[in-house]
Structure 1
Amino acid sequence: MSGSLRTLVPRPSPLRRNAWFQVRWNSKAQESLRAILAEELKQIQNAGTWKDERVITSKQGVEINVASQESKILNFCANNYLGLSGHEDVMNAAKDAIDKYGAGLSSVRFICGTQHIHKELEEKLKEFHVREDAILYPSCFDANAGLFETILNENDAVFSDELNHASIIDGIRLCKARKFRYKHKDMKDLEEKLKSVQDARLKLIATDGVFSMDGNVAPLDKICDLAKTYKAVTFVDDCHATGFFGKTGRGTEEFYGMIGSVDIINSTLGKAVGGASGGYTVGPREVVSLLRQRGRPYLFSNSLPPPVVGAGLKALDIIMKDTSLIERVRTNTKRFRESMIQAGFKIAGEDHPICPVMLGDAKLANIFADEMLGRGIYVIGFSYPVVPKNQARIRVQISAAHTNEEIDRAVAAFVEIGKKLSVIS
């Protein structure tokens, strides 16, 4: 602070420092900002789509402690498909990694942020997906944000399913390629759009493997057939499939019996594979090499923390050595879906552990979720803008760690509340 300014503005005492800064930086522009945003927040509340954050006071698992509840709650809305988030071996691997490699790297990969375990995990991901190379990111959102801008330019064209994840949509927005959105899982519409582009240097078809809000699966076999016909590159975000979908957990490709058919796969460690964080891209060596050289989220974000890498390595070991957890989540899913449909609920999706209980009305979904919490079942109502208007739902997610008794208890709670709120008769 200059001497002249010191004489005009007295130095605040330590006790008044925060208040002084609040006054010092308040402005008419900020008042305007607050008023505008307050009105938008009020509209969200009035629409019944306000999203409260429930505070969990325990580790992630089938049973959790929630700050507002006295007893343990059964958790049916985590992406913890294999129950590995709180697995003792996974947690110990994270502890060992932090002891050996530290809490973090304080750097990006190409400066001084690459450790042996980063390369080890990339090798293991490459092996798991049967691909030439792999590259790690802090999240799959980052992987999606960095891909399209790096490999596509104004001479290219990209074709995206209309219900793709927000990170795919945002990633595509960043690139200069011509952009086409095809109707959800509509292969005729995709083909018409592919036909309309004759002069592109590259054509890229982008889709979720499993659509997270609906639990339905992309028609990957048909997409790959069209890609061959029209000489297009294929890209799949397999976050809600990696580790547990398909016979050995290798995702949507394996579900269709076509491992190796997709050109580029992005996925996550933050769901079935340990549940901490971290994303990655696997694919051709040239794609991964270019991402290392030009991918902005890779070049300008800190390395994945060692404990996350250690947990991911151990989770992959468990998945690759034993399919019992994969088989268990499959049988648990069948039990829940069949019981709910028999009770009269409309369940979206296609035999996937994501089991959306369709309710339609946003306020009803939130009320239903609150009633479930009161009965010891943790679920969340999903409404616009997370899902389309008038398609509100409770997205139940099944884990291999759930017992038959726990699944039956959740179904019983759904039935009781469903009758109370006239959702079922």
Structure 2
Amino acid sequence: MTSTLREPVTLQGRIRTELQKLHDAHLHISPRVLEAPQRARTRILGRDVVNLASNNYLGFADHPFLKERAAQYLQRWGAGAGAVRTIAGTLQIHEDFETQLAAFKHTGSALVLQSGFTTNQGVLGTLLQEGDLVVSDELNHASIIDGLRLAKATKKVYRHKDLTDLRRVLDENPTDGLIMVVTDGVFSMDGDIAPLADIVALAREYGAVTYVDDAHGSGVLGEQGRGTVHHFGLQDAPDVLQIGTLSKAWGVVGGYAAGPADLRDLLINRARPFLFSTGHPPAVVGALSAAIDLVQQEGGFMERLWDNTRFFKAELHRLGFDTFGSETPITPVIFGEAETAFEASRRLLERGVFAVGLGFPTVPKGLARIRNIVTAEHTQDDLERALNAYEAVGREMGVIGG
């Protein structure tokens, strides 16, 4: 018998093959490097640019109040936590901030994890067991998708924001276990808002709990930025879990789970990302505490955010761009194919506007776009400069008439 020999796959060969696939599909990404702080105007490639690419909704990432508190915590508590939270890495400031966050969210407890991504992994992995049913919106964030992959529950998907399809899935999958409906509060690519009141009402018919990832709703919707759950008046609902990030509107880093009083205790004991990751550095905790204080002490952040959002959307529509029905500061401009969106992004940057093109697999094929996010920090001049650049690029590329 003659054996067929082949060359073994090498690490370098695998890396080069996968990179070539990305290049061939025009999907290779090279992140832009900011040469100045994360602000409404920043610097890239030596050029001052209007920044429409960040999630810095309230302008907190470089805010003096947050930096001052971070410096105070750094000097008093040191550079790092020194251990995982369950061994020796829980400082008093960690618990103080979680108490502050729970009070802000109007929940019985809150627990902070290392990121929004790991929060979804930790909470979904802890709560869902074999025999449970979890039903997820088809456009939920990748962190939810990956978190569900680790869970042993039966997993089903319903069409985006389609309550009829959600009911169908619940009807077709009866179970005696826990039933959970999972949705983003604000969807990160399209900027639309989940019909949360209707979802919760339908979930209750089946005895299901509703799990809301509010990464892009926290700091953007609800009184003082308390989020999508508060926007719909569901903050006192015991069957609604509030999950989110601290890296977008709040300007720093981390994720949180806010819910019933016992939820925190269970996650401390079972959530693997919490159990096996070092606690946040004191400076991070200080900046986060300052962010929650600031949004309550000083009005105007959300008003400026939404004034800018309405102006920018209206002007894009006037120029003839398709913003795909966005309802929030996330404002996509549809270009169709990935190469077109990437080229438009490059031309915008040449005109002093930093706005990133997104293609498959981040968004569906044929719906490549530039995702814009205006912030409370943008001025009228910033937005008009960006709109002038959009008009010029859109006409050059035949996306809008003229």
TM-score under structure 1 length normalisation: 0.90
CA distance, structure 1, for counterparts of residue 281 and residue 381 of structure 2: 37
CA distance, structure 2, for counterparts of residue 399 and residue 30 of structure 1: 51
- Residue 65 (structure 1) aligns with: 43
CA distance, structure 1, for counterparts of residue 395 and residue 114 of structure 2: 44
SS in structure 1 of the partner of residue 87 of structure 2: helix
- Residue 332 (structure 2) aligns with: 356
- Residue 18 (structure 1) aligns with: none
| Pairing 1:321–2:297 present | yes
CA distance, structure 1, for counterparts of residue 376 and residue 143 of structure 2: 27
> Structure 2 residue aligned with 1:50, among 18, 28, 33?
28
CA deviations on 1:279-327 (whole Å, 9 max, x unpaired) are: 1100012222111111100000000111111000000001122331001
CA distance, structure 1, for counterparts of residue 324 and residue 118 of structure 2: 29
Instruction: Say whether the 8 Å CA contact 1:418–1:424 is kept in structure 2.
Output: yes
Following TM superposition, by how much is the alpha carbon of 1:31 offset from its aligned partner in structure 2, in angstroms?
A: 5.8
Following TM superposition, by how much is the alpha carbon of 1:49 offset from its aligned partner in structure 2, in angstroms?
A: 1.5
Q: What amino acid does structure 2 have at the position aligned with 1:378?
A: F
> Structure 1 residue aligned with 2:168, among 192, 197, 212?
192
CA distance, structure 2, for counterparts of residue 72 and residue 223 of structure 1: 44
Following TM superposition, by how much is the alpha carbon of 1:29 offset from its aligned partner in structure 2, in angstroms?
A: 8.6
Structure-to-structure mapping, 1:227-242, within 5 angstroms: 227-242=203-218
Instruction: Say whether the 8 Å CA contact 2:58–2:375 is kept in structure 1.
Output: yes
How many residue pairs are counted as aligned between the two chains?
A: 395
> Structure 2 residue aligned with 1:221, among 178, 197, 200?
197
- Residue 152 (structure 2) aligns with: 176
Q: What amino acid does structure 2 have at the position aligned with 1:184?
A: H
**Rg larger in 1 or in 2?**
1
CA deviations on 1:247-282 (whole Å, 9 max, x unpaired) are: 421111232233333521111110111x22111100
SS in structure 2 of the partner of residue 188 of structure 1: helix
Instruction: Say whether the 8 Å CA contact 2:329–2:373 is kept in structure 1.
Output: yes
SS in structure 2 of the partner of residue 78 of structure 1: coil
* Structure 1 residues 95 and 30, CA gap change in structure 2 (3 angstroms): farther
CA distance, structure 2, for counterparts of residue 244 and residue 302 of structure 1: 29
Aligned sequence identity (%): 39
Instruction: Say whether the 8 Å CA contact 2:193–2:327 is kept in structure 1.
Output: no
SS in structure 1 of the partner of residue 243 of structure 2: strand
Long gaps (5+) in structure 1 = 1-27
- Residue 3 (structure 2) aligns with: none
CA distance, structure 1, for counterparts of residue 9 and residue 234 of structure 2: 57
SS in structure 2 of the partner of residue 206 of structure 1: strand
CA deviations on 1:137-160 (whole Å, 9 max, x unpaired) are: 010111101111211111211011
| Pairing 1:89–2:65 present | yes
TM-score under structure 2 length normalisation: 0.95
Long gaps (5+) in structure 2 = 1-5
* Structure 1 residues 29 and 319, CA gap change in structure 2 (3 angstroms): farther
Instruction: Say whether the 8 Å CA contact 1:161–1:206 is kept in structure 2.
Output: yes
CA distance, structure 1, for counterparts of residue 355 and residue 8 of structure 2: 37
